[in-house]
Amino acid sequence: MTKLLETYTVLANKVLATVEITKKPEEFVPIYTLIKPSIERGTQIVIDEIKDKLIGEIQIKVSELVDSSSIEELKKKFYTKSLQLINRLMPNLPLENKELLSGILVNEMLGLGDIEILLSDPNLEEIVINNSKEPVWVYHRKYGWLKTNLFMKDEQQIQNYASTIGRKVGRQISILNPLLDAHLSSGDRVNATLFPISSFGNTITIRMFRRNPWTITDLVNNNTCDVHLTSLLWLAVEYEMNIIISGGTGSGKTSFLNALMFFIPPNHRIISIEDTRELRLPDFLHWVPLTTREPNPEGKGEVDMLALLVNSLRMRPDRIVVGEIRKERQAEVLFEAMHTGHSVYSTVHADTAEQTFKRLTNPPINIPESLLDALDLNVVMFRDRKKGRRRVYQVAEFAPDSTDKVKILFSWNAAKDRFDQKEKKFNFLEKIKMHTGMSNKEITKTLKEREKVLLWMIKNKVNTVNGVGKIIAEYYMDAKNLMGIIERNEKPERIVPKEWLK
């Protein structure tokens, strides 16, 4: 007997679809059924005619396909023009239906057809096309892997979608170059492979990122970390401690790194370097995002992470954020930046603090142990796939010159789902005290203040990028005023524009 687990609606460019998630006795995983509006055959003929007219009437520049803001403008232009043509060819159609057909045209001509509807579902983390014979799969935040009722028409359609994605970022996928790493205008990461590299057929894998990035209030609220641990990390970021976030695939490394960057004072210049733009910081921060570029089909024009990293040192950065450390030369430059007074943050694949130490000091990264004394903190992320939760698994310090090279400061207690402090003395706090002259009493006072700020934001549901960023910036500019607002239990609107709280 089929059991309905959940149902909700998804809107993509005026196309409203219903999602039903069901459990069927004969299936090993739940089924994600997308119920979309149907188009009659006669209407489809008119739609095909409108497509031809749109292609002839709207000229598309390559620059419009590459720039995300231009793509949005192009979608509006297509939508408006298609609506005009529908009004002319089908004047008696209800306005709601006209808007629906215009939305379908935008999805098909400038997007990925029905996949655009999946991309608009905030509950999905991954969309996977394995070949044209299998259904499209999705990874749901609540239910894990699900089969959908969507199929690709044929292998050529999959290749066409991959080529469309590649062209928008100036990359090409073909039989001679059958692998593609790219991203959509929304920032979602895309990987594609062509047959026979993928034996069963052409594939597309889309890693979806939250349209509203996780902020530190979200992460404390869902117990990824707690306020005490977060206040310590806030202090570490403020006073320019170098931090590396490690963890397995999908453990939340980049999300946690992004959330920590909100703690950078607004008068500091931030340079970020990524393969694909994932970080999103408050609009008012002094932030310059850089991204790598793949070589063209002739092998020219590549700009790799090392080149950007070396170049960033000439841009007078106060903070350098690197998406991920992968190679020895990258790590050398990164640690050299730490030793020359730059504050550095990055991620690395490793499941524990001990593994992080080994991974950094062995090939392919292979950093000399002596350089690790510049790294102040290692935060390890963990993903519990069974229960669908992510946690800060460990916070550690490295001591390359001592017998115990890895010192665990905090560790997640899985049985009680809490964060246990393992050490009484933290080296990074001693360093902060040495550089600032702060006493233990003053450190304790400022940590308590930050806990109050975090709890106040959570209580008042402040969880937008600009909202959280504005309150943290206010703390740096006028802590006394902010603490007064909190003590009087006033609302965030007192200091944050309303549009930044939505």
Query: Per-residue pLDDT tens for 71-84?
Result: 777 777 778 888 88
Final residue of a domain: which of 113, 144, 162? 113
Task: Tell me: do 228 and 364 sit in the same domain.
Answer: yes
Nearest to 120 by CA among 34, 39, 222, 51: 34
In what helix (H) or strand (E) does residue 12 lie, and over which residues does it extend?
Answer: strand 3-12
DSSP letters, 307-370, are: HHHHHHTTS--SEEEES---SHHHHHHHHHHHHTT-EEEEEEE-SSHHHHHHHHHSTTT---GG
Q: What is the pLDDT of residues 263-291, one digit of tens each?
A: 999 999 999 999 877 899 999 999 999 98
To which H or E segment does residue 383 belong?
A: strand 377-384
pLDDT score of 62:
52
**Short-list 294, 273, 256, 477, CA closest to 383:** 256
Clarify whether residues 86 and 222 are in a common domain. no
Dihedral of the alpha carbons of 202, 144, 189, 332, in degrees to the nearest 10: -110
Q: What is the mean pLDDT of residues 411-416?
A: 95
Give 179-232 pLDDT, tens digit per residue.
988 878 777 889 999 999 999 999 999 998 877 889 999 999 999 999 999 999
Backbone dihedral angles phi then psi of residue 392, each to the nearest 5 degrees: -70, 110
Contact 121, 110 (CB under 8 A): no
Per-residue pLDDT of 52-71, as tens digits, reads 777 666 666 555 555 555 67
pLDDT digits (tens, 9 = 90+) for 131-180: 999 999 999 988 999 999 999 999 999 999 999 888 777 778 988 889 98
In a domain, 15, yes or no: no
- Are 238 and 107 members of one domain? no
Look at strands 319-322 and 269-274 and give their pairing: parallel
How many H-runs (helices) and E-runs (strands) does the chain carry?
A: 16, 18
What is the separation, in whole angstroms, between the first and last Cα of the chain?
42
What pLDDT score was predicted for residue 63?
A: 52
231 in any annotated domain: yes
Between CA 48 and CA 220 the distance in angstroms is: 50
Domain-embedded: residue 372: yes
Domain membership of residue 201 (yes or no) is no
pLDDT in tens, 89-144: 888 888 888 888 888 887 877 778 889 899 999 999 999 999 999 999 999 988 99
The number of folded domains in the chain is 2
104 shares its domain with 224: no
pLDDT at 211: 74
Q: Which of 435, 462, 479 is the last residue of a domain?
A: 435
Please give the average per-residue pLDDT across 416-435, as a whole number: 94
Residues whose CB is less than 8 angstroms from the CB of residue 33 and which lie 6 or more positions away in sequence, other chains included: 19, 20, 21, 22, 148, 149
Residue 204 has phi, psi (to 5 degrees) of: -140, 130
Name residue, tokens 């090279």. Answer: 405
What dihedral do alpha carbons 154, 139, 122, 257 form, nearest 10°? -120
Is the same domain home to 373 and 257?
A: yes
The answer to whether residues 258 and 401 belong to one domain is yes
- Look at residue 483 and tell me if it is in a domain: no
How confident is the model over 396-413, as pLDDT tens digits? 999 888 888 999 999 999
Please indicate, yes or no, if residue 19 is contained in any of the structural domains. no
478 CB-side CA count, 13 A: 7
Which residue is associated with the tokens 């090993």?
28
Final residue in a domain of this structure, among 402, 435, 468: 435
Q: Are residues 232 and 355 in the same domain?
A: yes
Residues 263 and 411 in one domain: yes
Q: Can you give the length of the chain in residues?
A: 502
So what's the pLDDT on residue 61? 56
Nearest partner of 177 among 159, 201, 190, judged by Cα: 159
Task: Report the percentage of the chain scoring pLDDT > 90.
Answer: 63
* pLDDT per position as a tens digit, 309-338: 999 999 999 999 998 898 888 898 889 889
What pLDDT score was predicted for residue 34? 94
Q: What is the pLDDT of residue 186?
A: 75
Mean pLDDT of the chain: 90
Residue 493 lies in a domain: no
Name the nearest CA neighbour of 235 among 6, 491, 476, 481.
Answer: 476
**What pLDDT was estimated at residue 398?**
95
Q: Does residue 367 lie within any of the structural domains?
A: yes
Domain hosting 106: range is 37-113
CATH number at residue 349: 3.40.50.300
Whether residue 317 has a cis bond before it, omega within 30° of 0 = no
Rounded CA-CA distance 135/128 in Å is: 9
